[in-house]
Chain A
Amino acid sequence: MDPLLRLINVKKSFGDVQAINHVNFEIHRNSVIGLVGGNGAGKTTLLRLMSGVYRPTEGSVQLNNERPVTEMRNVLGVVPESTGLYSKLTAWENIRYHSRLHGIDDQVAWDRTYRFAKLLDIEQSLHRYTEGFSRGMKQKTALLRALAHGPQILLLDEPTGGLDVTSARTVRRLVRKLKDEGGTVIYSTHHLAEAQQVCDRIIIIHNGIVQADGTPEELLNLTNSNTLEEAYVAFTKETARPRTEETETPSRMATLWRRLFTPSMKMEVSEDE
């Protein structure tokens, strides 16, 4: 069976920093794949490469029969970590905006949205402004927005981050349901228990390198571990580096200017000590 998504020797650099280094994997239909890694491991960068927001420095990200991902964004549904909802629009207006840009008829998008909204128990809030929404409501709305055009692949960046137990459970249940209906979900998280519970396959990423790729059982066997946490520690012995995509080098002028207005913080040791 042809893979739905294929990453071939993907490298991504930000200046001198290697955020992603020679990543290769394939995603097949009807599966839930967990991207697991610590802070700054490269999960978000990898998701952004898969959604076409970033272009690889080297290698390629291909969707459906070797077409670049930037030409195939219609088949993707993306929920970024920040959810990215417009507060002065209603939940439905937020969803409709994206579905219209996907070229989907409003009625088709509404029918699909309403169906999933009922599953997420949010159908009563579709015509409310998102301004007063809780984190959970925002996350659910962002999920509906990503699903309204009927994507082949759903990319979720930390979808349960900051959610209460009930909301997180509802989101996980939806992911499983999507899988049952033949969908494909790529799910980034740093919660190992969650990954074990939801995902058919786990890709452990550390310092921009894929350290392990397999089913939860395979990862346990490979490391002779009893728990996924032990397996994760075995795969990621090195210390994590800072979040690379936010590492910015200020201009020389900016550096000089800041230095001019930064008083010396050197403290002298008092003689008494």
Chain B
Amino acid sequence: MNSRKRIVIVAKKEIIEFIRDWRTIVALVLIPLLLFPLLFIAFPVVMQNEAAELEEKSIQVLIQSNDIDLLLIQEIENQSAIITQVAMPSNLTTLADPGNNTELLRSLEYDAILRIEERNETWYYAILHLSTSEQSNEARNRILDVLFEWEENLTIERIESAGLDVESTLNPLQWDGSISGADVATKGEQAGMLLSLFIPFVLAIWTASAAVQPAIDMTVGERERGTLESLLSLPLSRTELLLGKWLAVVSITAVGVTLQISGLLFGIAYLASDFIDVPSLSFGSIFLLALAVGFYGTMIVALYLALAMRSKSVKEAGSVLTPITLAMILPILLTQFINLDDVEMFWFGIPFVNVLLGLRELLLNRIIIEHVVVWILVSSLVCLLTIRYAAKQFRREDIITTKS
């Protein structure tokens, strides 16, 4: 029997054993598949409900002014506001100075305080509010809406009384035609741009987090359950054993990642098509995307298997791999801030970062040969090194006897 067959036998057994746990199916299939569609459905619904709820609420507004326009008060009242009007307090350095009115807002007696007064034909105003209160923010926004409309009317009135044309005075520079029509990028490319900031993040985090549990279970977990010793006495080399387990973890992770991306694309295509399109990618980009994810998965899984095998217990493996998974956020965040139009070549020489940058470029449907060659070469080398390191851990004699 050849080596490849033995590796496949080990991988098949690991996968069968793994998926027989119903919790795995939930974690591996349902959550990745439904996460984004549910987010696309739930997010707008929750947002709309919350906004509608806020709009229905009446707000308590205290107006402090000695000369406010009655029309303005009426307009604010029309915004479901209950108004109390008092005279402007004295001894204020500016209108924005809260003075001794802070407690009125903190105690939620009023949602906002509007101060307004006219000096030399200019109206000065300030709105005091509590930014940590949703209701106070809502009150501030409603007052601002009324004030801007009132200001516009006042501006038009003054322009007209000066005998000027309102439109050309207010908008001496105007866009001609549709704004989106002037963008030569297709909708698919625009979607690629937006998703290039998002998909690498999802892929990297999901790959890293989905691999943790199977990697621990198939190594130190197997040792703790006492199943490793009989396996090591079989006509199977340790490298074959590692590759079988690696293949299983990679397959499990790949299924999770594929389902999650499918869920995301389904969500975009059918639930959020008003806002964003499915990115348009060439066959070459799709192939290289799969390759990049493959490299990333290979490195992560081999590293996890090695570190888990090194650990003395499942608990120790968990406390080693969890911080590493969280640390993966660092290269991911780093790649978000790199300007792809002017990216230096050295970034593609940094393991993990290079693959994530490659993913961003490919989602923009950009295949820059020099970049691709560098990240493929570097990633291949790192893959070999991580697998070698994992193989070294699997060859250790104490892997069956080390216990916590």
Contacts and interface: CB of A to CB of B under 8 A. Distances in A.
Interface string A63-88: 00000000001101011101111111
Given A53-B233, A102-B235, A246-B401, A84 B9 contact: no
Contacts of B392: none
Contacts of B234: 73, 98, 101-102
Contact of A82 (B226, B232, B312): B226
A58 to B, nearest CB: 15
Contacts of A79: 230
A85 B227 contact: yes
A103 interface: yes
B214 to A, nearest CB: 13
Contact of A245 (B225, B230, B401): B401
Interface stretch (B15-23, B138-146, B279-287, B370-378): B15-23
Interface in A103-160: 103, 142, 145-146, 155
B9 A100 contact: yes
A25 interface: no
Contacts of B235: 73-74, 101-103
Given A54-B397, A102-B234, A80 B9 contact: no
A178 interface: no
Contacts of A53: 229, 232-233, 397, 400
A88 B401 contact: no
Nearest to B244: A101
B226 A83 contact: yes
A97 B9 contact: yes
Contacts of A100: 9
Contacts of B232: 53
Nearest to A243: B401
A52 interface: yes
Nearest to A101: B234
B53 to A, nearest CB: 48
B166 to A, nearest CB: 76
A88 B20 contact: yes
A205 to B, nearest CB: 18
B291 to A, nearest CB: 31
B173 interface: no
- Main SS of chain A's interface residues? mixed
B232 to A, nearest CB: 5
Number of chain B interface residues as a range: 20 to 34
Residue among A97, A98, A101, A102 with the highest chain B CB neighbour number at 10 A? A101
B267 to A, nearest CB: 33
B6 A88 contact: no
Interface residues of A, number: 35
A248 interface: yes
A84 B229 contact: yes
Interface in B215-270: 225-236
Given A82-B226, A246-B403, A89 B233 contact: no
A102 B230 CA distance: 12
B401 to A, nearest CB: 5
Contacts of A82: 226-227, 229
B163 to A, nearest CB: 84
Contact of A51 (B17, B233, B236): B233
Interface in B181-240: 225-236
B368 interface: no
A29 interface: no
A78 B1 contact: no
Contacts of B155: none
A98 B6 contact: no
Given A73-B235, A246-B401, A246-B403, A145 B13 contact: no
A196 to B, nearest CB: 28
B402 interface: yes
Contacts of A85: 227
Interface string A47-65: 0100111110000000000
Given A97-B9, A101-B6, A84 B403 contact: no
Contact of A145 (B226, B228, B230): B230
B226 A88 contact: no
Interface in B1-30: 1, 6, 9-10, 13, 16-17, 20-21
Contact of A78 (B226, B227, B230): B230
Residue among B1, B6, B234 with the highest chain A CB neighbour number at 10 A? B234
A89 B236 contact: no
A89 B17 contact: yes
A55 B397 contact: yes
Contacts of A88: 16-17, 20-21
A80 B13 contact: no
What are the 3 tightest A-B residue pairs by CB atom distance, in nearest-first order?
A: A82-B226, A84-B230, A103-B1
Given A51-B233, A78-B229, A97-B13, 7 more contacts: A55-B397, A73-B234, A84-B227, A84-B229, A88-B16, A88-B21, A101-B236
